[in-house]
A = this chain, B = another copy of it.
Amino acid sequence: MNPLDLEEFKRQGYMMIDFLTDYYKNIEKYPVLSKVEPNYLAKKLPSSPPFQPESIESILEDVQQHIIPGITHWMSPNYYAYFPSSGSTAGFVGEMLSNGFNVVGFNWLSSPAATELETIVMNWLGKMLNLPKCFIFSSNFECGGGGVLLGTTCEAILCTLVAARDEKLSQIGKENIGKLVVYCSDQTHSALQKATQIVGIHAQNFRVIKTKGSNFFALSHESFLSTILLDVENGLVPCYLCATVGTTATNAIDPIKLLCNVAKDYDIWVHVDAAYAGSACICPEFRHYIDGIEDVNSFSFNAHKWFLTNLACCCLWVKDHSVLRKSLSTYPEFLQNINSDLKEVIDYKDWQIPLSRKFNSLKLWIVIRSYGVENLKKFLRNHVEMAKTFEGLVRKDERFEIVVPTRFALVCFRISPSAINIDNGSEGCYYIGKNMNDGYLVNEVNRKLLDSVNGCGKAYMTHCEVDGAFVIRCAIGSTLTEEHHVNMTWKLVQEHASFLLGKKIEFR
């Protein structure tokens, strides 16, 4: 038993590369959205672990036969669901390197390169995003700004919310946690709701401010202010705002500058979640979406979404990391060391929830070096162009409508109400509904269209609901997506729509 026999390591490593190369080669043959039924896998695999070793060949055979059918293929060029998870060769080999070293970089000493490369890469990225100096590491590690790699935006929000909570409680007393208020819009990611639950802020002080279609679902600073005023009047204490650049549903953009102007009067921590759209802000033409970022306390985006970095990789910058560390530090005896004592190094354990952490910066560093800033911009712009193409195709078909202007590479569309006829007893009518208002019926038709497209396996999109409307989202950004995929996908939507709109369907 030698679990790291080098010949075997090499043989299996090569084999896995070959397996994945074949997987990518054949990826379009698989239904993008898995078609398996719940509990399918328990019927294929033994319910107890093997006593004796099994060969990697037989394991890979099972992966091919039983696992791949149960995968929804996020790497498929016809994957347009949620937001992309754009893996790449550089991201993949970066992960290999990190997994091969297998270091646990909780503090500087446990692997200095892991910490130092992370600070360097976060500064690189900060410069690419043209972040103001207040977010860039200086040579003083005791306070000031800087960046850290976390797993996901959920963690970025949780960590900053804890810091904001503790800062506020240090002023008003920890017994007053029931007074703290957290703000967001009805478009904000559910990560904030979860973080609020976790840190013990009361659910009734979680303010979800309504947005409007006429404002493209952005959070209005007037609504923000009036909500605050009411809270303050009621003796509550405003604490934290999560603004979003590129919301999950429709890529709405909250106006950072205006919101910060309101927030600063009440000493509210402002976090900007640009999980998806942050990547695009390395292009000058998109940078204006984060104008005002110098006024926020923290800013994050996910390099694993649309930045060619394999899952998971969330980039968080804070203006004053001493506040973060105040809430998240522990310094048990077994970790004590002279470099930490002297505060001459960064210990990233104090910037995150877990103690342990992988050497995550390697993959981001290799992504940036392998492609270079210029090509990364090209990559992003290419998806934006494809989204424009797709939007143009939608607009040309009068049965459809674009629900919000396409931003970045997300197209939100649906079958237009005017394309749907309600039963009037004649031949040319398609839908029969009972006690049903038009809005519901339009939604159900669009839901049927989405299910129909996804069910055929050739593409996968997801939905959102805004202003009561069921909307189909086509998020372009998979690494393998090319223009012909986008064109094929649109034809597919049209075919399924034609079939559906030509049918008489009864809703009950």
Contact = CB atoms under 8 A, between A and B. Distances in A.
Interface string A9-25: 11011111111110111
Given A14-B17, A100-B92, A191-B355, A114 B9 contact: no
Interface in A207-242: none
A426 interface: no
A128 interface: yes
Interface stretch (A290-298, A316-324, A392-400, A460-468): A460-468
A283 interface: no
B100 A23 contact: yes
A370 interface: yes
B328 A194 contact: yes
B356 A67 contact: no
Contact of A9 (B20, B51, B308, B339): B20
- Tell which of A99, A193, A202, A330 has the most Cβ of chain B within 10 Å: A99
Contact of A128 (B49, B152, B191, B194): B49
A12 B93 contact: yes
Nearest to A466: B333
Contact of A74 (B10, B104, B479): B104
A194 to B, nearest CB: 5
Contacts of A311: 99, 102, 104, 356, 358
B111 A3 contact: no
A258 to B, nearest CB: 25
B101 A74 contact: yes
A344 interface: yes
Contacts of A178: 174-175
Interface stretch (A83-91, A416-424, A483-491, A493-501): A83-91
A368 interface: yes
A128 B175 CA distance: 45
Given A82-B334, A197-B327, A353-B194, A3 B90 contact: yes
A72 interface: yes
Nearest to A363: B99
B89 A12 contact: yes
B198 A177 contact: no
Contacts of A48: 124, 127
Contacts of A109: 33, 72
Given A103-B71, A356-B312, A358-B312, A52 B374 contact: yes
A31 to B, nearest CB: 12
Nearest to A103: B74
A502 interface: no
A463 B266 CA distance: 47
Given A99-B87, A199-B200, A17 B21 contact: no
A301 B276 CA distance: 33
B368 A50 contact: yes
A116 B194 contact: no
A261 interface: no
A433 interface: no
Contact of A155 (B69, B200, B354): B354
A375 B53 contact: yes
Interface in A144-170: 151-152, 154-155, 158, 162, 165-166
Contacts of A53: 369-372, 375
A95 B95 contact: yes
Interface in A182-210: 189-191, 193-194, 197-202
Interface in A56-108: 56, 59, 63, 66-75, 82, 85-93, 95-97, 99-104, 108
Contacts of A267: none
A249 interface: yes
A142 interface: no
Interface in A1-45: 1, 3-6, 8-10, 12-21, 23-25, 33-34, 36, 38-42, 45
B10 A375 contact: no
A51 B194 CA distance: 39
Contacts of A262: none
A447 B249 CA distance: 57
Interface string A430-467: 00000000000000000000000000000000111100
6 contacts: A4-B88, A6-B24, A13-B20, A13-B92, A41-B112, A71-B112
Given A49-B368, A70-B111, A73-B103, 5 more contacts: A3-B479, A6-B25, A14-B14, A36-B113, A38-B345
